[in-house]
Amino acid sequence: MTNKDYLKILDEINDYCQNKYQIKKLNQVFFEIDLPYYLPIQSNRIIHFQLDSASIASYHFKQVVNKEDNGLYKHHTKVAMVYSTSMKIASKESSLNKYFQNLIKQYNYFVDSYVIKTKDFNVVKINNNNLGIYSNCILRDRNQQVKELVFLFNSNPIELMDYSKDGNKKTISKDLLNTISYNSQFIKEQNPYLNVGLTTIDAVQLLKNNKFNLAIIVAQSGFELFINTTIKEIAKLNPEVKFNSDLSIASKIDSLNQILECDDFKVGNNLVDNYLKAAHFLDDITINNYQASFKDADTFLQAMELLKRLIVNQLVRFDKYKDFFLEYLSNI
C-alpha cells in the first residue's frame, strides 16, 4: 500500500471511532504486518475493539495473492493495525513497542475466538518471532501532523503461506466475523469454558506438529476441565448438585448422566465406550512410557470430541440449564 492508502485507512478509523465511541481528538499509531498465513477475511474489512475509555484497537485486512514460478498462487494476509487514543503518543522505541504489543495482544484474543469458532487450526497467535523483519509505522497526531518510521521487530522471519491452483480463496461471512469479534472481547475473562476451547486448540496443533504424546495429555486435560467446569456450573444453578473432585473421570461422566436424568452418556453408550477405550493411551504414556502414533492421538482426540459434542447437545436441551449453556458453550 502507498502512503495515501495508509492515510485513507487512518481517516476511516478515526471517523468510526469518533462516531461510535465518542472519543474525540484522536492520536493514531499505524503498523502494517504480514501474517505468516492466510486469514479468510474479506479485503478492506475493518474490525475495532475498545481497549479502555481512551483507546481503540483497529485492524484492516487485505488479502495478497502472488503467482509463484511453479504455477501455484501464494496467499497471505496483510493487516494494518491502528492504535487510536485521546492520550499523547510518543515516537521513542519503548513507546512504539508498547503500542505494538497492545495491538498484538488484542489481535491474539481475536485469534483465540476465531479458532475456537471455526476450528481453522492453520491460524495461530502472532508474536515477533513469526512475523517479518520490520513494519511501516505512521504516527498521526490530532492536528493531522504525520511522522513516518520503520519499526523493527524480528531478524529471523518464517514463512507459512497458503497456496492454491487458481488464485481463489474463500473468506468468512461478515456475520461470522462479527460473532468472532464479539466473542474475542467476551472470552477474555467471562466465559468459564475459555480454557476448554484453548486446550482443544493446543491439542490439535500438537497433533499437527507430530507431538502425539503431548496431544493426548493436553486433550485429556481439556476434557477433564470440560467435565469439571460443567458440573461446577450446574451446581451453581442447582444447589442440590454437589461437585466431588475425588471421583474418576468415568464416574464424573456417569454423575453428569444422572444429573441430567438421561441415559445418553453412560457406560454402554458407543461414544462413551469409544472414549474410555481410547483413554488407555493416556495410561500407556504416563505409566508404561508408551510412544503414541498419529493414529493413536487422532483416535483419542476424535473420540473425546464426539463425546463432548454429545454432552453439549444434551446440556442445551435441558430446560433448567439451557440458557446458560447456549450462551457459553456455543462458541467452544
Q: What is the pLDDT of residues 258-317, one digit of tens each?
A: 777 776 666 556 777 777 777 777 778 878 888 888 888 888 888 888 888 888 877 777
Q: Specify the DSSP element, H or E, that contains 88.
A: none
pLDDT digits (tens, 9 = 90+) for 303-331: 888 888 888 877 777 777 777 777 667 65
Grid cell in block for residue 261: 436424568
Residue 106 has what pLDDT?
A: 92
Average pLDDT over residues 145-160: 62
pTM of the full predicted structure? Answer: 0.62
Top-confidence residue, 250 or 168: 250
Instruction: Domain ranges for the chain, please list them.
Output: 3-172, 191-329
Q: What are phi and psi of 66, to 5 degrees?
A: -125, 135
Mapped onto helix, strand or coil, the DSSP state of residue 46 is strand
pLDDT number for residue 102: 92
Query: How far, in Å, CA of 90 to CA of 181, rounded?
Result: 29
- Could you confirm whether domain 191-329 is CATH 3.40.50? no
Cell of 52: 479502555
Share of the chain above pLDDT 90, in %: 15
Q: 148 is written with which cell numbers?
A: 513516518
Given this model, what pLDDT does residue 120 score? 86
For 319, other C-beta atoms within 10 Å of its C-beta total 6
- Residue 73: phi and psi, rounded to 5, are -100, 125
What is the residue whose three cell numbers read 493436553? 218
At residue 268, the pLDDT reads 58
Among 70-79, 159-168, 313-322, the range with the most confident prediction by mean pLDDT is 70-79
Cell of 34: 504480514
Burial 63-81 (b: 16+ CB within 10 A, else e): beeeeeeeeebbbbbbbbb
Least confident segment among 131-145, 200-214, 228-242, 272-286: 272-286
Mean pLDDT of all residues in 168-196: 66
pLDDT in tens, 31-70: 998 888 889 899 999 999 998 889 999 999 999 888 887 8
Going by pLDDT thresholds of 50, 70 and 90, the confidence category of residue 128 is: confident
From its phi and psi, is residue 212 left (phi > 0), alpha (psi between -120 and 50) or beta? alpha
Report the pLDDT value the prediction gives residue 74, as an integer from 0 to 100. 84
**Residue 184, Cα to own-chain centre: how many angstroms?**
8
